[in-house]
A and B are shown apart, each in its own frame.
Chain A
Amino acid sequence: MPSPRYWREVPARYRLEAGRCVGCGAVVYPARRICPACRGQQFERLALSRRGTVVTSTVIHVAPTEFQMEAPYAMAVVETPEGARLMVQVADCEPNEVGPGMEVALEFRRIRKEGKSGILCYGHKAVPVR
Chain B
Amino acid sequence: MAGIVGYGAFIPRHRIKAEEIARQWGKDAAAIRRGLLLEEKSVPGLDEDTITISVEAGRAALERAGIDPRLVGALYIGSESHPYAVKPSGTVVAEALGVGPEVHVADFEFACKAGTEAMFVALSVVESGRAEYAMGIGADTSQGAPNDALEYSASAGGAAYLFGKPHVLAEVVETYSYTTDTPDFWRREGEFYPRHTGRFTGEPAYFRHITAATKAILERTGLKPSDFRYAVFHMPNGKFPLSVGADLGFTKKQLETGWVVPTMGNTYSGSSPTGLAAILDVADPDDLILITSFGSGAGSDSFVLRATELLPERRGRAPTVRSMLEGPRRYLTYGQYANYREKILLNE
Residues of A bordering B, CB below 8 Å:
10, 14-15, 47, 50, 69-70, 89, 91-93, 107-111, 115-116, 119-120, 122, 125, 127-128, 130
Query: Roughly how many angstroms separate A69 CA and B348 CA in the complex, as a whole number?
Result: 13
Closest A-B pairs by Cβ, 7 of them? A108-B55, A109-B47, A14-B96, A92-B13, A110-B47, A130-B328, A108-B52
User: B286 in the interface, Cβ–Cβ < 8 Å?
Assistant: no
Cβ contacts A to B, 13 pairs, < 8 Å:
A15-B98, A92-B12, A92-B14, A93-B330, A108-B52, A108-B56, A109-B47, A110-B46, A110-B52, A110-B83, A115-B348, A119-B87, A130-B327
A-chain residues with CB within 8 Å of residue B49 when the two chains form the complex:
110, 120
In contact, A111 and B47 (Cβ under 8 angstroms): yes
B-chain residues with CB within 8 Å of residue A50 when the two chains form the complex:
59
In which size bucket is the chain B interface? 20 to 34
In contact, A92 and B52 (Cβ under 8 angstroms): no
In contact, B51 and A15 (Cβ under 8 angstroms): no
Chain B residue, CB-CB nearest to A67: B46
User: B95 in the interface, Cβ–Cβ < 8 Å?
Assistant: yes
Query: Roughly how many angstroms separate A89 CA and B52 CA in the complex, as a whole number?
Result: 15
In contact, A92 and B45 (Cβ under 8 angstroms): yes
Query: Roughly how many angstroms separate A92 CA and B329 CA in the complex, as a whole number?
Result: 8
Binary A-proximity of B33-75 (CB < 8 A = 1, otherwise 0): 0000000000001111101100110010000000000000000
Query: Roughly how many angstroms separate A70 CA and B83 CA in the complex, as a whole number?
Result: 19
Whether A91 contacts B92 in the complex (CB less than 8 A), given A108-B56, A115-B348, A116-B348, comes out as no
A-chain residues with CB within 8 Å of residue B56 when the two chains form the complex:
107-108
User: B84 in the interface, Cβ–Cβ < 8 Å?
Assistant: yes
Please give 9 more A-B residue pairs, beta carbons under 8 A apart, in addition to A91-B45, A92-B328.
A69-B346, A70-B47, A92-B45, A108-B51, A110-B46, A120-B49, A120-B51, A120-B83, A122-B96
Query: Roughly how many angstroms separate A115 CA and B346 CA in the complex, as a whole number?
Result: 12
In contact, B92 and A14 (Cβ under 8 angstroms): yes
Chain A residue, CB-CB nearest to B339: A69
Chain B residue, CB-CB nearest to A110: B47
Binary A-proximity of B327-348 (CB < 8 A = 1, otherwise 0): 1101000000001000010101
A-chain residues with CB within 8 Å of residue B87 when the two chains form the complex:
119
A-chain residues with CB within 8 Å of residue B59 when the two chains form the complex:
50, 108
Query: Roughly how many angstroms separate A111 CA and B83 CA in the complex, as a whole number?
Result: 14
Chain B residue, CB-CB nearest to A92: B13
Residue from A14, A115, A119, A125 within 8 A of B47 (CB atoms): A125
A-contacting residues, B1-49, CB 8 Å: 12-14, 45-49
In contact, A120 and B84 (Cβ under 8 angstroms): yes
In contact, B339 and A109 (Cβ under 8 angstroms): no
Whether A10 contacts B46 in the complex (CB less than 8 A), given A109-B52, A130-B328, comes out as no
Whether A122 contacts B92 in the complex (CB less than 8 A), given A115-B348, A130-B327, comes out as yes
Query: Roughly how many angstroms separate A125 CA and B55 CA in the complex, as a whole number?
Result: 13
Query: Roughly how many angstroms separate A127 CA and B92 CA in the complex, as a whole number?
Result: 21
Chain A residue, CB-CB nearest to B344: A69
Among B47, B87, B96, residue most surrounded by chain A Cβ atoms (within 10 Å): B47
A-chain residues with CB within 8 Å of residue B52 when the two chains form the complex:
107-110, 122
Binary A-proximity of B84-113 (CB < 8 A = 1, otherwise 0): 100100001001101000000000000000
Whether A109 contacts B48 in the complex (CB less than 8 A), given A92-B14, A115-B348, A130-B328, comes out as yes
Query: Roughly how many angstroms separate A108 CA and B58 CA in the complex, as a whole number?
Result: 11
In contact, A14 and B95 (Cβ under 8 angstroms): yes
Query: Roughly how many angstroms separate A15 CA and B94 CA in the complex, as a whole number?
Result: 11
A-contacting residues, B269-326, CB 8 Å: none
Chain B residue, CB-CB nearest to A119: B87
Query: Roughly how many angstroms separate A116 CA and B55 CA in the complex, as a whole number?
Result: 23
Residue from A108, A111, A116, A125 within 8 A of B96 (CB atoms): A108
